[in-house]
Structure 1
Amino acid sequence: MHETGEDFMAANQTAFATFINITDVENAVPEAATESSKDSNDRECEGKTDEPVDCTDPEIFHLLMKAAIEKFKDIHFYRFGKPVRGNDDSSCHMAWRFRPMEGKTAAFYKDYRSFVVSRSENCTLSVVRIGDYHSGGNARKRKRNQKGFEKPMAQAPKQTIVLPEVGESVNDTLPVVESEGSFSRGKYLLYTNGGDRCKNMNHYLWSFMCALGEAQYLNRTLVMDLSICLNKIYTSSGLDEEGKDFRFYFDFEHLKESASVLDQGQFWEDWKKWYQKDGLTLHLVEDFKITPMKLVGVKDALIMRKFGSVEPDNYWFRVCEGETESVVQRPWHLVWKSRRLMDIVSSISSRLNWDYDSVHIERGEKARNKELWPNLDADTSPEALLSTLQDKIEDGRNLYIATNEPDTAFFDPLKDKYATHFLDEYKDLWNETSEWYEDTMKLNNGNPVEFDGYMRNAVDTEVFLRAKKQIETFNDLTKDCKDGVNTCTASS
Structure 2
Amino acid sequence: MAFHRASKAKPKSARSRILLLAAAVTAIALLFLFSSLLSTTVSKANLLQRRQQQPFEKYLYWGTRIDCPGKHCGSCEGLGHQESSLRCALEEALFLGRTFVMPSRMCINPIHNKKGILHHSTNASSEELWDASSCAMDSLYDTELMSDTVPVILDNSKEWYRVLSTSMKLGARGVAHVEGVSRFELKENSRYSDLLLINRTASPLSWFMECKDRNNRSAIMLPYSFLPSMAAGKLRDAAEKIKALLGDYDAIHVRRGDKIKTRKDRFGVARSLHPHLDRDTRPEFMLCRIAKWVPPGRTLFIASNERTPGFFSPLSARYRLAYSSNYSHILDPLIENNYQLFMIERLIMMGGKTFIRTFKEDETDLSLTDDPKKNTKLWQIPVYNVDETC
Q: Same fold (TM over 0.5)?
A: yes
Q: Is the 8 A contact 1:221 1:262 kept in 2?
A: yes
Provide the identity percentage.
Answer: 25
Q: Deviation of residue 424 (structure 1)? A: 0.8
Aligned 8 A contact 2:62 2:89 in 1: yes
Q: Which letter does structure 1 place at the counterpart of 2:190?
A: G
Quote the residue 1:344 is aligned against: 238
Rounded Cα–Cα distance in structure 2 between residues aligned with 1:287 and 1:390: 51
Q: Is contact 2:96–2:183 with CA below 8 Å preserved after alignment?
A: no
Q: Which moved more, 1:252-261 or 1:233-242?
A: 233-242
2: distance between equivalents of 1:258 and 1:205?
16
| 1:406 aligned onto 2:307 | yes
Higher RCO (Cα < 8 Å, 6 or more apart): 2
- Equivalent residue for 2:105? 227
Cα 1:328–1:456 shift into 2, 3 Å: same
1:424 correspondence with 2:314: no
135, 141, 150: which is aligned to 1:250? Answer: 141
The answer as to whether partners of 2:251 and 2:356 remain within 8 angstroms in 1 is yes
Q: 1:264 to 1:281 in 2, by over 3 A?
A: farther
TM-score (norm 2): 0.57
Query: What one-letter code is carried by the residue in structure 1 that aligns with 2:181?
Result: K
User: Is structure 2 residue 194 aligned with structure 1 residue 270?
Assistant: no
Query: Counterpart of 1:24?
Result: none
After TM superposition, the structure 1 stretch with the greater mean CA deviation from structure 2, 404-413 or 364-373, is 364-373
Q: What is the TM-score with the length of structure 1 in the denominator?
A: 0.47
Q: CA deviation at 1:321?
A: 5.3
Counterpart for residue 199 of structure 1:
77
Q: Does 1:302 align with 2:203?
A: no
Contact 1:259 1:334 in 2 (8 A): no
- Structure ID, larger Rg: 2
**CA shift for structure 1 position 422:** 1.4
Q: Distance in 2 between matches of 1:217 and 1:467?
A: 33
Q: In structure 1, how many angstroms separate the alpha carbons of the residues matched to 2:293 and 2:149? A: 41
Q: Does 1:185 align with 2:75?
A: no
Render the CA deviation track for 1:256-295: whole Å, top value 9, x for unaligned: 2333332223244324655566778433334223554255
Q: Per-residue deviation at 1:365?
A: 4.6
Count of aligned pairs: 289
Q: Distance in 1 between matches of 2:328 and 2:294?
A: 26
Aligned partner of residue 409 in structure 1, secondary structure:
coil
Counterpart CA distance in 1 for 2:207 and 2:285 is: 45
For 1:481, the aligned partner's letter is: D
Alpha-carbon deviation of 1:297? 0.7
Q: Which amino acid aligns with 1:303?
A: I
**Which runs of 5 or more structure 1 residues have no equivalent in the other structure?**
1-149, 154-180, 438-448
Over 3 Å counting, the alpha-carbon distance change for 1:473 and 1:285 in structure 2 is closer
Gaps of 5+ in 2: 1-47, 119-129, 263-269, 361-365, 374-378, 384-390
How many angstroms apart in 1 are the aligned matches of 2:358 and 2:226?
A: 30
CA RMSD of aligned residues (A): 4.5
C-alpha separation between the residues in 2 aligned to 1:346 and 1:285? Answer: 43
Conserved 8 A contact 1:374-1:480: no
